[in-house]
Amino acid sequence: MKNFVTVLLSILLSGITAYAVVKASDHFLPKDETVAVAGESGSSEVRTVNLADTDYPDFTYAAESAVNAVVYVEVTVTARQSQQIDPFFRFFFGDEFGQQQREQKGSGSGVIIRPDGYIVTNNHVVQNASSIKVTLYDDRTFDATVIGTDPATDVALLKVEATGLPTIPFGDSDALRLGEWVIAIGSPLSYNLRSTITAGIVSAKGRSMPNTTGEFKIESFIQTDAAVNPGNSGGALVNKKGELVGINTAIISQTGSYSGYSFAVPSNIVQKIASDLIDYGSVKRAVLGITMQPIDDKIAKELKLSSRSGVYINEVSKGSAADAAGLRKGDVILSIGGTRIAGTSSVQEKVNGYHPGDKADITVLRDGKQKTFQVTFLAAAEANGTTDAEGAVAFYGARIKDGKNGVEIVSVGPGKMLEAGAAPGVIIKYVNDEPVSKAKDVLSIAARAKKSVFMQGVTPEGYPVYFGFGKE
């Protein structure tokens, strides 16, 4: 009898404990959330979504709400192909005599961001395209035009003539956390695999990749292990809420196919670039005016730093936004606009989010003490004429300096020179048909020009080059 009572009390106690645990979980776990979901025609419907964590993630809401707004992008590029011809004919008729035009096809993905037909994709997907076709999830096909591109971030904006299209709302890529689940949506490898959905986690943030082209790049990629292959470029990276947190852009692979690592441009960068291209027709990029490097062991030891977070300022350009605010060589930038700076890519990403004329507080470590300065950002053109420690002069986003046989382009950053096709190493010999031998000549002639600036020069190999831009 005593054993029976003991067993009965044990069962009763277990039941009370289980009930208490269930009630406690009801209190602490996230409740179902009612959200508006975009339908295929652009209309919205109300749906209840369970956002509570389970043994495995549930992507049904994110996938179903986002897949309709991811499109297939087909690109046609007209390329010239040279044929072997007799040197005698080449001498009389030139190189173009032996060239034929040949059409090449390429493909990628894109994301509809506005119901009236604005689509974001990668610049490398549509670069040099002679025609672009976009196929929607419902198989409708449209001709697309390029509204604008930004090679520095590898973002491009397309437009199709349609209304009422489904969209993916922008999410806050800064709020992404390591280990957070995300899905990638795109058209890997072929047309037949359109709207493929893969899942993974955020593996890292603020990633950069080796740059062998010498071009100016703003890289602060989101790294994930969601499977991405050629054709996924320009597709959507989406969080569990169905928000766009990135545009898939690249993989690192020995074979050219997915091998565990994929990279996406953060949505905060994409949104700013797309807004600028829609509102202004070009990217209005802020310039801080510093050269910088990561905190290494040597710097950390010399400055007696307890952490390697932040970036070290190597130089401050005279007349730049940083110079006017009071930043100095040797300062360590800890935060910009309240956002902690982990490395150089963090600075690029944060500054890229501002427009010329915007103000931000920058906190630095100087002589062991934290100091905060307010910076008013300048545009690349406004920084013309500022000189760095090497004597190079800022000129519409590029840096130029006096050379032996003209004016050498030292580097090319965001601005009109980059958009015109200028490249490092080129020697500028003429500006608007006037010979130049010093950087100040280039600045003077460009300042006098009313509408446009046209330059003639030679490459390091001695080939002639021509490029120019409008001042307005």
Contact 148, 157 (CB under 8 A): yes
Buried b (16+ CB within 10 A) or exposed e, 356-369: beeebebbbbbeee
Give the per-residue pLDDT at 49: 57
Which residue bears the tokens 């449209």? 142
Predicted confidence band of residue 21 (pLDDT cuts 50, 70, 90): very low
CA distance linking residue 125 with residue 135, whole number of Å: 15
422 DSSP assignment: -
Compute, in degrees rounded to 10, the torsion defined by CA atoms 238, 242, 244, 246. -10
In this prediction, residue 453 has a pLDDT band, given cuts at 50, 70 and 90, of: very high
pLDDT confidence band for 216 (50 / 70 / 90)? low
Q: Is 154 a catalytic residue?
A: yes
Three-state secondary structure call for residue 409: strand
Give the pLDDT mean for 434-454: 91
C-alpha torsion 351→356→357→359, nearest 10: 0
Predicted pLDDT of residue 335: 95
For 16-36, b where at least 16 C-beta lie within 10 A, e where not — what string? eeeeeeeeeeeeeeeeeeebe
Give residue-wise pLDDT tens across range 118-136: 999 999 999 889 999 999 9
Provide the angle, in degrees to the nearest 10, between the axes of the packed helices 267-279 and 344-352: 30
Q: Give the pLDDT mean for 387-398.
A: 80
| Mean pLDDT of all residues belonging to the chain | 83
Report pLDDT for 45.
58
Single out the catalytic residue among 124, 203, 282, 437: 124
Does residue 77 sit in helix, strand or coil? strand
Q: Which of 65, 187, 220, 233 is catalytic?
A: 233
For 222-268, how does the pLDDT look when each residue is reduced to its tens digit (9 = 90+)?
A: 999 998 888 889 999 999 999 999 999 987 666 666 767 889 999 99
**pTM for the complete prediction?**
0.68
214 pLDDT higher than 70 = no
Lowest mean pLDDT among 1-5, 208-212, 247-251, 255-259: 1-5
Banded pLDDT at 27 (limits 50, 70, 90): very low
Active-site residue, selected from the candidate residues 65, 150, 154, 195:
154
For residue 10, give both structure tokens. Answer: 């044990």
Q: How far is CA 41 from CA 44, 237, 260, in A?
A: 9, 22, 35
**Contact by Cβ (8 Å): 99, 83:** yes
Question: What does the radius of gyration of the chain's CA atoms come to, in whole angstroms?
Answer: 27
| pLDDT value for 318 | 79
**Share above pLDDT 70 across residues of the chain, in percent, rounded to a whole number:** 79
Q: Under a CB-based contact definition with an 8 Å cutoff, are residues 397 and 409 in contact? A: no
Please, how many CA atoms are within 13 Å of residue 78, restricted to the half-sphere of its CB?
6
Condensed to tens digits (0 to 9), the pLDDT of residues 277-335 reads 999 888 888 889 888 999 999 999 999 888 888 999 998 887 889 999 999 999 999 99
Backbone φ, ψ for residue 96 (5° rounding): -65, -15
Residue 441 annotated among the catalytic residues of the structure: no
Please name the amino acid found at residue 449. Answer: A
Query: Nearest CA to 185 among 118, 124, 137, 134?
Result: 137
